[in-house]
Amino acid sequence: MRAALWLLALFGVAVAAALFAGNNQGTVTLYWPPYRIDFSLNMVVLLLVSGFVTVYAALRALAALLELPRQARRWRVQQKERAMHSAMLDAQTHMLAGRFIRSRKAALAALTQEEALTTAGEAVPHGHHLRALAHMVAAESSHALQDRATRDRHLQQAMDQAPAHGNAHEQELREGVLMRAARWSLDDRDAGAALEQLAALPHGAARRTLALRIKLKATRLARQTQDALDTARLLGKHHAFSVDAAQSIVRSLATELIHSAHDTAQLKQIWLQLEPSERNMPELAIHAAQRLAALGGEPAQVRAWLLPVWERMVTLPNALPDHQALKLVRALESGLDTLDATWLARIESAQRGNPRDARLQYLAGVACLKCQLWGKAQQLLAQVTPHLPDASLRASAWRHLAELAEQRNDGEAAAAAWKKAALAQ
């Protein structure tokens, strides 16, 4: 469409020129005493146009001639800039390929080229960014080569190129430098330095997934279990891990935190600080109850912590793996000396509702034994002992049967039960 319009315009100009020049009888007279020169108007117009074109071409040629030194200088600067960027790309490529010595040399070459440009008065607008990145590549290569002195020197030079109160690009560059420095400190097993570098990050940057991952590793290395647990929760909310992996990490840290309690008051405080979803985890509830019992806590409190897990096992018989169900039975058994009527009814009701569950029948027999219901305890334990799947439970059941036989003054039955308890272990 545009070409058609230009063609129409050209035809219009040609028609106008033909109309103007074809029947133009005008003349231009030049008086130069004692001479008189007559020119046609068409000739005068043609001479004026030709003169203008000639003068314009001469001026452009002169400007191009005068521009040659400047263009030569610009070409030399461009060549240096290309060499600088090429060296930077080579440094990145060598670093990714694991050729760290070559990577560091290329980064230093890029720094040399940039310094030469600055000295010549041709500073690159993004020169400080490039200097910072080149120093970081050199520091990364030095870190891989275990040259910590060179790494720290380049790291400090990179930090100098990214002031804390600079513009947005400089602040982002500083955040990246701090995160990378924290990773290096973590590789050096220096958790304190890593946490200090992460603490220097702005609040928003400190909550990024990468920073939280580094913080999680650093706090675990520094044995700061509570901070590590809080960080793992944030990572789980940010979907940094899969659901199973996040639960596994949280469960591991919470278990470690529970195990670090030295008295019942501290353990109760830790338990209250856990989220409801964490307190409902069978592993954590059982471990916390066992730890509370080991620290001399009240058996009623132990059973209160185990109640959600107990209800899950009774309601859904296959909800808990065998090892967790065994731990639950063991944890409840340890506090049966002060069993109240409510829990006794709970255990008996569960045993009647699941008559094929040998663990529940064993627990009911021990509960009856602790409540001095000798006959019922004898009946339940005698029936279930041969069918218990776990050797430790069978040994415990035989010991309880031996104690009951001794109370009946049945020495022969007691000896046989003690013998079977020893063989079952």
Q: What is the mean pLDDT of residues 19-37?
A: 73
Residues 35-75 have pLDDT tens digits of: 777 777 777 778 888 899 999 999 998 888 888 888 888 88
Residue 103 lies in a domain: no
The enclosing H or E element of 32 equals: strand 27-32
Domain that holds residue 407: 339-425
Residues 313-357 have pLDDT tens digits of: 888 777 778 888 888 888 887 777 777 778 888 888 888 888 787
Residue 387 lies in a domain: yes
Residue 43 lies in a domain: yes
Confidence of residue 107 (pLDDT cuts 50, 70, 90): very high
> Which among 31, 59, 87 is the end of a domain?
59
Confidence of residue 301 (pLDDT cuts 50, 70, 90): confident
Residue 38 lies in a domain: yes
Residue 416 lies in a domain: yes
Is pLDDT at 176 greater than 70 in this prediction?
A: yes
Residue 128 lies in a domain: no
**According to the model, what pLDDT value does residue 22 have?**
63
Mean of per-residue pLDDT scores for the chain: 84
Determine phi and psi for 65, rounding to 5 degrees. -65, -45
> Which among 30, 59, 88 is the end of a domain?
59
Confidence of residue 170 (pLDDT cuts 50, 70, 90): confident
Residue 54 lies in a domain: yes
Residue 327 lies in a domain: no
CB 101 within 8 A of CB 141: yes
Residues 375-389 have pLDDT tens digits of: 887 888 778 787 788
How many domains does one find in the chain? 2
Q: What per-residue string of b and e applies to 58-88 under the rule 16 or more CB within 10 Å gives b?
A: eeeeeeeeeeeeeeeeeeeeeebbebbeebb
Q: Looking at residue 384, which CATH number applies to its domain?
A: 1.25.40.10
Residues 79-89 have pLDDT tens digits of: 888 888 899 99
**According to the model, what pLDDT value does residue 140 have?**
92
The enclosing H or E element of 39 equals: strand 35-40
For every residue of 360-412, DSSP letters joined together read: HHHHHHHHHHHTT-HHHHHHHHHHHGGG-SSHHHHHHHHHHHHHHHHHTT-HH
pTM, to two decimals = 0.73
> Which among 13, 33, 59 is the end of a domain?
59
**According to the model, what pLDDT value does residue 141 have?**
93
Nearest to 397 by CA among 357, 369, 356, 375: 369
Which range has the worst mean pLDDT, 28-32, 136-140, 173-177?
A: 28-32
